[in-house]
């Protein structure tokens, strides 16, 4: 059977790639240290597969066909299409893991989940900024899970918790002894393309972190369901953290760092989960 | 409200570099391929961030003004200048 060997979360934002060299040194150092720590921990758990839970920033889907959740089941995926990403992360192809992707898809269908599927996804900055900055090997096979975090109506927090549990079940029932890690990307608070753009809601961020530290699913669900409509739209990406959290068993959250990052317009958060010994 | 064809224009510009180049070279010709209503066409020609913002996804809006070459600081300033009390701008935003 496969085993879950690590669960992580990290912010992303196009400015991290676009303006990395122009950022104030002190600020860049903080981002670098946090991403480095994610990379160090990820490598230490020696994964054979990385499941990346991320939004799609309008590079695969449009409002004429917009899945709530899409699983990438291909043997390969396209690297980031954004020119600013291609400059820093010039990988035209990224490895997938079709067998595990199909197993995750089948496990979902067997458990009354109906995700979309894709044999080939374009993996944008949401997926690739953490991979780039954390120096994840481009040879590591990815199983992308794209979640609609951008366009209302979006999956409920309750459903994202269920997705996390389902992901864990799929890992535990995969017949080969693979080591699987999970990375949720996005968040914390930020506000993009709306009248509050630039706002970093530190009060939300600290409350959110406290909820993850407490771990309890019903409280996390209640908090995010109530708070997300009152903060910037970028915080909707916390769904990806929620899926990671539930995959980890909704316990063991460990904050690596949090700081408001006005240079990148995000409340920058980085976390890993302590997993119970197998 | 979400305006489908305005959204489609922004989506296509994001995902088709040639179209984006064409748009920079001849904006009216590209806009003419989309059945966008006259009011929104005017808003496009006037780079009217406040008028366009409630009609499209916020992320598509951001990308569009990058294609237009508007500095992000100016884009943010124009968004921030939308008065939430006057027309309830936040509530009109479809995705925020």
B contacts of A81 (beta carbons < 8 Å)? 15
Chain B interface mutation, best of A197, A235, A265, A266, highest count of B Cβ atoms under 10 Å: A197
pLDDT value for A276? 77
Q: How far apart are CA A126 and CA A145, in angstroms?
A: 11
Dihedral sign, Cα of residue B33, residue B39, residue B45, residue B47: negative
**How far is Cα B17 from Cα B26, in angstroms, rounded to an integer?**
14
Cα of A101 to nearest chain B Cα, Å: 26
- Percent of residues, chain A, with pLDDT higher than 70: 99
Contact A196 B53 (CB under 8 A): no
End-to-end Cα spacing for chain A: 12
Distance between CA B94 and CA B57 in Å, rounded?
7
pLDDT at A278 over 70: no
Query: pLDDT digit string (tens) for A79-96?
Result: 999 999 999 999 999 999
Contacts of B59 in chain A (CB under 8 A): 57-58, 150, 192-193
Contact between A100 and A149 (Cβ < 8 Å): no
For residue B90, pLDDT over 60 is answered with no
Its ipTM equals: 0.95
Chain A CA closest to residue B96? A233
Residues with Cβ within 8 Å of residue A146, at least 6 apart in sequence: A54, A55, A56, A60, A61, A67, A69, A70, A72, A118, A121
Which run of H or E residues covers position A103? helix A98-110
State how far the Cα of A235 lies from the Cα of A232, in Å rounded to an integer: 6
CA distances from A108 to A19, A115, A162, A166, A167 (A): 39, 7, 10, 7, 8
Interval B11-46: pLDDT, tens: 999 999 999 999 999 999 999 999 999 999 999 999
Pair A51, A243: CB distance under 8 Å: no
* Residue of chain B whose alpha carbon sits nearest to that of A57: B59
Residue A230 pLDDT exceeds 50 = yes
d(CA A53, CA A241): 8
Is the dihedral angle over the CA atoms B67, B70, B71, B72 positive or is it negative?
negative
Asked if B53 lies within 8 A of A194 by C-beta distance, the reply is yes
What is each CA distance from A132 to A36, A75, A103, A238, in whole angstroms?
Answer: 10, 20, 27, 21
Looking at the complex, does the CB of residue A63 fall below 8 Å from at least one CB of chain B? Answer: yes
Answer whether 0.90 is exceeded by the pTM. yes
Question: Of A235, A257, A253, nearest to A13 (Cα)?
Answer: A235
Cα(B63)–Cα(B53) distance, integer angstroms: 12
Q: Does A62 contact chain B (CB < 8 Å)?
A: yes
């Amino acid at each position: 059977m496969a085993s879950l060997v690590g669960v992580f979360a990290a912010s992303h934002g196009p400015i991290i790639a676009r303006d990395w060299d122009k950022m104030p040194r002190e600020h860049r150092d903080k981002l670098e240290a946090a991403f480095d720590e994610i990379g160090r921990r990820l490598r230490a758990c020696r994964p054979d597969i990385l499941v990346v839970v991320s939004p799609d920033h309008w590079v695969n889907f449009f409002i004429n066909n917009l899945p709530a959740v899409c699983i990438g089941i291909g043997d390969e995926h396209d690297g980031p299409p954004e020119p600013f990403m291609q400059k820093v992360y010039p990988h035209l192809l990224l490895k997938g893991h079709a067998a595990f992707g199909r197993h995750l898809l089948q496990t979902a269908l067997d458990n009354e989940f109906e995700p979309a599927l894709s044999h080939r996804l374009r993996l944008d900055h949401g997926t690739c900024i953490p991979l780039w900055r954390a120096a994840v090997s481009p040879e590591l096979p990815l199983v992308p899970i794209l979640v609609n975090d951008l366009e209302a109506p979006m999956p409920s927090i309750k459903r994202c918790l269920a997705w996390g549990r389902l992901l864990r079940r799929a890992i535990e029932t995969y017949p080969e002894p693979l080591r699987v890690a999970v990375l949720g990307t996005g968040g914390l608070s930020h506000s993009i393309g709306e009248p509050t753009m630039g706002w970093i809601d530190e009060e939300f961020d600290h409350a959110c972190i406290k909820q993850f530290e407490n771990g309890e699913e019903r409280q996390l669900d209640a908090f995010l369901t109530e708070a997300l409509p009152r903060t910037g739209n970028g915080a909707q990406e916390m769904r990806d953290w929620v899926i990671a959290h539930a995959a980890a068993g909704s316990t063991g959250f460990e904050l690596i760092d949090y700081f408001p990052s006005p240079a990148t317009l995000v409340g920058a958060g980085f976390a890993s989960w302590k997993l119970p010994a197998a | 409200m979400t305006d489908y064809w305005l959204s489609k224009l922004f989506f296509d510009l994001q995902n088709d570099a040639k179209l984006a180049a064409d748009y920079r070279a001849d904006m009216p010709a590209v806009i003419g391929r989309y059945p966008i209503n006259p009011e929104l066409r005017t808003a496009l020609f006037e780079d009217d961030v406040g008028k366009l913002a409630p009609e499209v996804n916020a992320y598509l809006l951001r990308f569009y003004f990058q294609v237009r070459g508007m500095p992000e600081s100016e884009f943010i300033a124009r968004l921030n200048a939308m008065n939430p009390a006057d027309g309830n701008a936040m509530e009109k935003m479809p995705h925020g």
